[in-house]
A and B are shown apart, each in its own frame.
Chain A
Amino acid sequence: MATEESEDHGHFLPAVRDWPRGYGEASWWPFVTAIGLLVVYTGASLYVIGRGTDLVSSSVGLGAFVAGWAVTILGMFGWIYQAFVVDFWDRGSHNGGASLRLGMLLFLGTDIATFGAGFAYYFFIRTGGWHTEYLPESGILTSVLVINTVLLVFSSFTIHWAEGHLQKGNHQRFVQGLLVTLLCGIVFIGGQIYEYYEFIVHEGFTLTSGVFASGFFGLTGIHGIHVSFGALLLAILLVRGLRGHYDADRHVSVTTVSWYWHFVDAIWLFLVAVVYIGSVFGTEFSPF
């Protein structure tokens, strides 16, 4: 995008093919996205008001919450589509994707802090007066946990494998690798839902079951949201890959998404070690 005009800031045009069309520095998508978020948070507010008072029914809030997410996702989709996807092969690469790669690294930095706050809570209670009655009755280490962990680690290898084949110019292997990675991610999410189901319905171990439950559902929940978001990103990569995007030289989003995926995998391993194993280590539940 660095054109011969780039000396003059007034004529730099970051949004040529955008909505509204025909301008260079105008896009509705950011505004749409922000409106979506406003509706999401207003919906959440209405939900809370609905629960606390009889001014509105909290289902109105839930409806707005869901509708808001739909608008937000529409806005983000429009933004990413018109900024990066629509003329992928014509637009050339802006500073070799350096900004985008750095942007992902910085985002992952913020994510370390986000998870850090949750882990801080968990360490706080784990090192305090710790009771095994905080844990679900039949224990926290299940076969689902083992399968999920294996799947997620395996998927880190498959996305690496896919990226490697892309760099060697083998587009078909790349797409296959992405597909396998995505499937692993989806099965992982399914496993997580099954684990929650078992805990909540059969064990009565819910969000309100005490101090460990708060940390457990908080941390695995935010991780699950990250995996789901990662699966969405992988799905976008896959669709774009099937449409012929990416080659050995142009694959910034493949790189950034794979970083994200490795990061989520690493967080999971830490989580398994600290929250699952760490919660029973040294107690009568410990299998070790």
Chain B
Amino acid sequence: MAVSPELVFSVLMGLLLLVVAGWLTRLEDWQAYTPVGGGGYGESTGHGHEEKPAGLTRWLTTVDHKDLGILYSLFGIVAFAWGGITAMLMRVELTTPGMDFLASFGGVGLYNALLTTHGITMLFLFAAPLIFGFANYMVPLLVDADDMAFPRINAIAFWILPFATILMWAGFFLPLVGIDIQAAKTSWTLYTPLSSTMQGTGVDVFLLGFHLSGFSTTMGAINFIATIVAERDSVNVPWSKLDIFSWTILTQGGLILFAFPILTAAVTMLLLDRNFGTMFFAGEGGGAMLWQHLFWFFGHPEVYILVLPPMGLVSLILPKFAGRKLFGFKFIVYSTLAIGILSFGVWAHHMFTTGMNPRLTASFMAISLAIGIPSAVKVFNWITTLWNGKLRMTAPMLFSVGFVQNFIIGGVTGVFLAAVPFDLVMQDTYYVVGHFHFIVFGAIGFALFAAMYYWFPIMTGRMYDRRLALWHFWLSIIGGNVTFIAMLILGYGGMPRRYATYLPKFMTWHAVATVGAFIMTFGVVAFVWNIWQSALYGKRVDSGDPWNLKQSDQFSNEWKWYEGKRQTMLADGGEEDADDAERNAAD
């Protein structure tokens, strides 16, 4: 192969970029706007010896689980913004039956692309990374480990994510600079033959990014399992004392271990089909059914990969503000493990209408209904934890209670869908969309908000604005229920999912759903503004126990660590004050 001028040019450009990046990292002034208060206290502003370099270099080179937890969380919030904006564009379009709002930007094609990226982003780039963010920061503290088992793999796993995201979103941004590749319009399920025959290299670029992001998740899971099993301080934290969040992260890790490689392998086959003429999903080969089997063998555990840690978060946070121990701790752990195991045996309930063997559908229905039992065990345990408790309605508590409410609706609608005769009617309607949005936003999202507020003092050293947090809660729970209940009703009416246009008879409830979505958006804006402002300028936390957990004897490991850290800081000469004074001067 002759060396082409393009190749030389590319290499030179790459070198130039490296030089620029190197120069940027030397700009020590980046410290001045270190995001989110620099993980608590500027570790780099001088103790006896420095553990981390200053400036941007610190964030690019860090192998500290706390820093990476913050990076994961920031990344999750950015992805949340993109997922939210795409959702709102769709909701605005759906206010009217015809193609109006998006018509001049790309019409139905753009709608389909937005639909695809909204689903993929919320599941893989918002929910999962935010869970990993909290787990990164807290699990080593909760199990009394020095750090994650593999600190460098932890950093690789994080950095892969934003890079994969560039490729996954490229189909939207490259056309703006004149490179006309089409964004993927395959829906997040990537069903063949649509995904294997769809024209446009944007699909391939998206699939490559998606493929890369899978490695990040798998590495993270291996790391969490190894941390909890092998790095745990077995004297202070024996298995019997392992907290509920770590249990759910452990179970989640086990699910990821067997689910994600299946997805990665299936995406590899899809890429080979698209580009190298293999026949994995061609009609004569595995066909459409093989894709669905492989995808849902990954995809249903993925649901529990996303929901189990939020369940753990709620199980962790609820008792703290109810002043009681978690009711039936052991049963919550057992039900977590039970859900984890059962989750690999229910995948075909996504495929009841494909004409599978009825004996198979019946057995998948049975297991799917059975998975409702451990889920209900959890709900009753949460309710009994609240019973007779001394409830303190803080923001994390409100979001935890909201989680339970939303999870009940999302769960019960799910039990209906698990029944074959009901599913045959409701398959591919807005009923399904309403059901899983109650879970994904109403439950998973709420638990993540609860965790964000609950651990905000540890992660930033400051307190959030309580008034804004209450706005966030009430707007989210009202807006969420308005939107998703409207979707359930639309589904009963027969509105099919994934369409950009619809019959005029559905207009009223679509309009209701859009109004609800706007209410939610205001809540989310309050959230993002609150997090941003409070992390930088919020009131300093003045004790190691801002939630008065010692009172009810629930002062857990991460808060003990935090209190110890505060004491060390004060002994080192109160640099907090200096830091504050500097900020005030800057204002």
Q: How far is the CB of B575 from chain A (nearest CB, A)?
A: 14
Does A154 lie at the interface of the complex (its beta carbon under 8 Å from any beta carbon of B)? no
Roughly how many angstroms separate A55 CA and B11 CA in the complex, as a whole number? Answer: 18
Docked pose: A170 CA to B222 CA in angstroms: 34
* Most chain B beta-carbon contacts within 10 A, residue among A14, A25, A33, A210: A25
A165 to B165, CA, bound (A): 48
Most buried by A among B181, B285, B294: B285
Indicate whether B468 reaches chain A with its CB closer than 8 angstroms: no
- B204 contacts A14, CB within 8 Å? no
- The answer to whether A211 has its CB under 8 Å from any CB of chain B is yes
Residue A26 interfacial (CB < 8 Å): yes
Instruction: Judge if A38 is at the interface, Cβ distance under 8 Å.
Output: yes
A1-37 vs B, Cβ < 8 Å mask (1 yes, 0 no): 1100010111111110000101111111111011101
Q: In the complex, what residues of A have CB within 8 A of residue B155's CB?
A: 27, 30-31, 34
A220 adjacent to chain B (CB < 8 Å) = no
A37 in complex: contacting residue of B149, B160, B181, B568, CB < 8 Å: B160
CA distance A261 to B402 in the complex (A): 50
- With contacts A60-B6, A99-B149 taken as known, whether A20 is within 8 angstroms of B53 at the C-beta atoms is yes
Q: Are A12 and B147 in contact (CB under 8 A)?
A: yes
Q: Which of B58-66, B312-320, B479-487, B548-556 contacts A (4 or more CB under 8 A)?
A: B58-66
SS of B interface (majority): helix
Asked whether B251 is an interface residue with its Cβ less than 8 Å from the other chain, the reply is no
Considering only CB atoms, which chain B residue lies closest to A71 in the complex?
Answer: B14
Min CB–CB distance B198 → chain A (angstroms): 12
B574 CB–A CB distance under 8 Å: no
A42 within 8 A of B: yes
**B147:A110 contact, CB within 8 angstroms:** no
Are B58 and A113 in contact, CB atoms less than 8 angstroms apart?
A: no
Q: What chain A residues lie within 8 Å of B257 (beta carbons)? A: 106, 109-110, 113
Name B179-203 residues within 8 Å CB distance of A. Answer: 179-181, 200-201
Cα-based distance from A157 to B212 in the complex (angstroms): 35
Interface residues of A in 114-138 (CB under 8 A from B): 114, 116-118, 120-121, 124-125
Given A1-B146, A27-B63, are A59 and B51 also a contact pair (CB < 8 Å)?
A: no
Give B332-349 as 1s and 0s: 1 = Cβ < 8 Å from A's Cβ atoms.
000000000000000000
Among listed B84-92, B275-283, B323-331, interface-contacting one: B275-283
Whether the Cβ atoms of B211 and A41 lie closer than 8 Å is yes
* Chain A residues with CB below 8 A from B147, complex form: 9, 12, 14
A-contacting residues, B247-282, CB 8 Å: 257-262, 264-266, 269, 272, 275-280, 282
Q: Does B229 contact A (CB under 8 A)?
A: yes
**Total contacting residues, chain A, CB less than 8 A:** 76
Q: Contacts A41-B212, A42-B167, A102-B226 known; A110 to B261 CB distance under 8 Å?
A: yes
The stretch of A46-54, A141-149, A239-247 that contacts the partner chain: A46-54
Q: Mark A42-82, 1 if CB is under 8 A from B, else 0.
A: 10110011011101110110011001000000000001000
**Is the Cβ of B568 less than 8 Å from the Cβ of A26?**
no
Complex Cα distance, B61 from A25, in Å, reads: 8
Give chain B interface residues in 266-309, CB to chain A under 8 Å: 266, 269, 272, 275-280, 282, 284-286, 290, 293-294
A102 touches B140 (CB 8 A): no
Interface status of B393 (Cβ within 8 A of chain A): no
| Neighbouring B residues of A195 by C-beta, 8 Å | none
Pick from A9, A49, A107, A121: contact of B205, CB under 8 Å: A49
> A49-B205, A98-B230, A117-B294 known; A207 and B50 CB under 8 Å?
no
User: Which residue of chain B has the shortest Cβ distance to A24 in the bound complex?
Assistant: B51
| Bound: A109/B253 CA distance, A | 11
Check: A204 CB closer than 8 A to any chain B CB. Answer: no
Is B279's CB under 8 angstroms from A110's CB?
Answer: no
**Of the candidates B53, B160, B285, which one forms a contact with A125 in the assembled complex, judged by CB atoms under 8 Å apart?**
B285
26 CB contacts below 8 A, A to B, read A13-B51, A24-B52, A28-B60, A34-B156, A41-B164, A45-B170, A48-B208, A53-B181, A55-B179, A63-B7, A64-B10, A99-B149, A110-B222, A110-B257, A114-B262, A117-B266, A117-B269, A118-B269, A120-B294, A124-B286, A125-B286, A208-B278, A214-B272, A215-B280, A217-B278, A218-B269
Task: For the A-B complex with A9-B147, A48-B208 known, give 15 more contacts whose Cβ atoms are closer than 8 Å.
Answer: A8-B568, A10-B43, A10-B51, A20-B57, A25-B151, A26-B53, A26-B58, A30-B159, A42-B167, A45-B167, A49-B204, A59-B4, A83-B152, A207-B277, A213-B279
Shortest 9 CB-CB contacts between residues of A and residues of B: A34-B159, A30-B155, A117-B265, A208-B277, A113-B261, A38-B163, A214-B278, A26-B61, A211-B285
B contact set with A: CB distance below 8 Å: 1, 4, 6-7, 10-11, 14, 43, 50-53, 57-58, 60-64, 66-67, 140-141, 146-147, 149-156, 159-160, 163-164, 166-167, 170, 179-181, 200-201, 204-205, 208-209, 211-212, 215, 218, 221-223, 225-227, 229-231, 257-262, 264-266, 269, 272, 275-280, 282, 284-286, 290, 293-294, 561, 564-565, 568
